[in-house]
Every structure is written in C-alpha cells, then in structure tokens.
C-alpha cells in the first residue's frame, strides 16, 4: 500500500508515522556508532534532540534580531534538509518503521547537523558578553557551561562515529581482498559463487581483466602457475580451527558440489578457498577457487548496524563457502583426492583444511558422462 493510500485511509496515524520517520532519519546520522539495544529508539531520541536545539536556535535568533543578518542562511539549509527528508518520507514510510535507518539516508541528517552548529553559534553569539556587561555574571557562567556541554557532547558523538567509520573501513578493506583474490583466479579455474563479489558477470570482468593485463595495469596479474607451492606458503592448521571441507557430492552429469568453512588470520573469513588435486608428478594443483558466502568479518557493532533492518538475507556463518564444480574439473584423472586450502590473499598464506575427499570417476560408454561411484563421498 502506497503512502498516499495510507494518508487517505488513516490520515492521523500516517502523518504521525511520517513525523517519526523524519526524526529518526535525522538522528540516524549521529547515532549509528553506539552499541544500543534498539537503534530505532536511540535514533529517534537523537533526532528529537537535534530538532529541539534547532527550534531553540531559531527562536533565540529571531527574538534577538539576528535572524535575517546571521541565522537566515543556516535556517535555509535546515529547511532544505526538511524538504528532502519529506520527499524521502513520502516515498518510503510505507515500507516500515525501520526504513529511516537505511544507511544512505544519513546524508540528510548530516546536513541537518551542518546547519545546526552555525545556527546555534549565530543565535547565541555575544549573549554571554551582554550578560556580563549587564552585571548578570551568574547567567553568563550558565551560558558558558551550556556551550561547553553541547560542544563536549558533539565531540563525543563525533568520536564514536569516527570509531564506527574506522570499523567500516576495515570491513571494506577486507572485502577488497575477497574481490581481488577471486579476480586473481577468474578465467583460470572455476570461481563461481552465488553472491557476485566483483559487481558484474564473470564474462565482462574477464574481458576487462584481459585488457588491463595487456596494458600492464593489473597488479598483480591473474595467476598463471596454479601449483599450490607457487601460490603461497602452506600452513597446516591444528584441528578444525581454520575450517574444514565437509564433503564432495556429485550432481549427476552437471558435476559436483563441495562446501565447508574456512578462516584466515584473526578469525576472519578466508579470502578464497583453493581446491586442488595431485598431478602425475605428485604436485598439488588448484582446480577451483571458492569464495566465502559471508562478509570477511562480521562486525556486529558497525556493519551489523547497517544491515540490522535492511531487506537482506541473514549473514552466513563466518567463513562458510560452497561451489559447484563442472564435470570436467578433474581433467583426465580417473580417481584421486580433492584437498582444500584457506587463502589469506594479502599475506600469500595457505591454511590446509582437514576433510580431504576421495573421488573416483567411471564412464558410461553410451552417455560418455562421468559418474561417481560410492567412494565419492568418502572422507579421508
């Protein structure tokens, strides 16, 4: 049901919801980094305080005769934020009470803060000096303390939001490792995963990578030597701390399905999971690269706030991965062992995962398609 229909059927209730939407949207710009139990309530409280201060600033500026000469530009900017928020509100309020917490709406709340700070400065400028000249020293001290308190609160909020932004930057930096690791193997071995980490179809990304490689602009270039020994230093983890390969399941003539979980350094999801088999010389060679289905590191106090009320699927378990392998993944090998490594791409370290899977291929003379026997799901 659209907002206009809701206004026609329930005008008072819908208008109230729109007002709460705008208040929460303004408060969301300063209340995102705080680890509170309910972000909607806290954002609404912050937004109410911001708007109350704005009203106080406008009234004081008007009564002191400073509105037209000093406060008008900031009042116009404040009005602009209200108009913008109103347009957003009309289009989105029907989606639910938590819509104003959508991350992109913080821009409007930030403009409100930008207008509020100089507005209060213009409205209260010279007030303490005037109180001291009139002999009202007590009032002058109260004004000074109030200004210091508001400045301290504002700086505290900015400090918390700075920490929140630092956490987001860490998440984005780790996500880049995920994307770069997948690009490193794209077009060389199967890298398919449901949620695309590169922002486009594999064919388009592959074509762009070829162009960059010819120009010498892709650094490092995509892998040419797929031997495990050439891709990084191998480390055998203790037990299941770094992850595990759960099993290898045949999907008929379509190929195979394999999944598990894998962690890199500091408990974050592996940048990529390499699956390999032994060649005739006994060397392990990568035949597929699986991407994690979860964010690199699910930071509940930062990116968790962004995802708390968005219409997205629930985040996967950290390090969870899965991949469908084509039927010809193992080449001419009739049987062998599939092994997995969790890759820390930035450090070029490979953590060997337990759970090696044995496979055996037999061929139907009529269908000429590979078929796995009963040992396909046997874990070594």
Mean pLDDT, residues 18-32: 81
Residue-level pLDDT at 298: 52
| Dihedral pair phi/psi, residue 55, rounded to 5° | -65, -45
Residue 270 clears pLDDT 60, i.e. is over it: yes
A 10 A CB-CB count for 62 gives 14
Q: What is the dihedral of CA 306, 308, 309, 311, to 10 degrees?
A: 90
Res. 7 pLDDT band, cuts 50 70 90: low
Which is higher by pLDDT, 329 or 139?
A: 329
Q: Which of 81-90, 127-136, 247-256, 332-341 has the lowest mean pLDDT?
A: 127-136
Rounded CA separation 240/197 (Å): 26
- For residue 131, CA distances in Å to 61, 65, 71, 139 come to 16, 16, 21, 6
Residue-level pLDDT at 258: 93
Residue-level pLDDT at 367: 41
Res. 351 pLDDT band, cuts 50 70 90: very high
What are the boundaries of each domain within the chain?
3-125, 226-379
Q: What pLDDT digit, counting tens, does each position of 99-152 carry? A: 777 777 777 778 888 888 888 888 877 766 665 566 666 655 676 777 778 778
Mean pLDDT, residues 243-267: 87
Residue-level pLDDT at 306: 56
Q: Which of 111-115, 130-134, 173-177, 186-190 has the lowest mean pLDDT?
A: 130-134
Record the pTM: 0.64
**Do residues 348 and 218 touch, judged by C-beta distance below 8 A?**
no
Q: Is 226-379 a domain of CATH 1.25.40?
A: no
């Amino acid at each position: 049901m659209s907002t206009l229909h809701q206004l026609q059927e329930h005008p008072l209730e819908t208008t109230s919801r729109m007002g709460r939407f705008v208040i929460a949207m303004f408060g969301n710009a300063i209340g995102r980094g705080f680890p509170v139990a309910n972000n909607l309530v806290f954002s609404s409280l912050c937004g109410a305080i911001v708007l109350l201060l704005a009203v106080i600033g406008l009234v004081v500026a008007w009564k002191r005769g400073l509105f037209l000469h000093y406060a008008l530009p900031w009042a116009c900017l404040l009005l602009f934020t209200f108009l913008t928020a109103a347009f957003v509100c009309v289009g989105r309020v029907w989606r639910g009470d938590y819509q104003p917490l959508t991350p992109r709406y913080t821009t409007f709340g930030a403009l409100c803060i930008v207008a509020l700070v100089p507005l209060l400065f213009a409205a209260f400028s010279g007030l303490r000096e005037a109180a001291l000249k009139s002999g009202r020293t007590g009032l002058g001290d109260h004004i000074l303390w109030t200004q210091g308190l508001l400045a301290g609160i504002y700086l505290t909020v900015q400090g918390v939001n700075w920490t929140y932004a630092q956490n987001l930057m860490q998440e984005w930096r780790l996500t880049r490792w995920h994307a770069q690791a997948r690009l490193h193997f794209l077009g060389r071995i199967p890298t398919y995963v449901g949620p695309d980490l590169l922002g486009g179809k594999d064919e388009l990304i592959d074509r762009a990578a070829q162009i960059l490689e010819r120009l010498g602009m892709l650094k490092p270039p995509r892998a040419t030597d797929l031997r495990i020994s050439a891709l990084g230093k191998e480390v055998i983890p203790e037990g299941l701390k770094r992850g595990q390969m759960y099993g290898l399941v045949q999907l008929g003539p379509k190929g195979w399905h394999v999944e598990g979980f894998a962690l890199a350094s500091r408990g974050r999801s592996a940048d990529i999971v390499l699956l390999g088999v032994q060649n005739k010389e006994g060397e392990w060679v990568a035949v597929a690269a699986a991407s994690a289905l979860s964010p690199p590191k699910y930071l509940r106090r930062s990116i968790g706030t962004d995802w708390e009320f968005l219409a997205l699927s629930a985040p996967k378990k950290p390090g969870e991965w899965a991949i469908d392998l084509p039927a010809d993944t193992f080449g001419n090998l009739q049987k062998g062992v599939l092994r997995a490594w969790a890759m820390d791409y930035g450090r070029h370290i490979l953590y060997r995962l337990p759970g090696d899977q044995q496979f055996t291929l037999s061929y139907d003379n009529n269908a000429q398609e590979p078929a796995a026997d009963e040992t396909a799901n046997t874990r070594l």
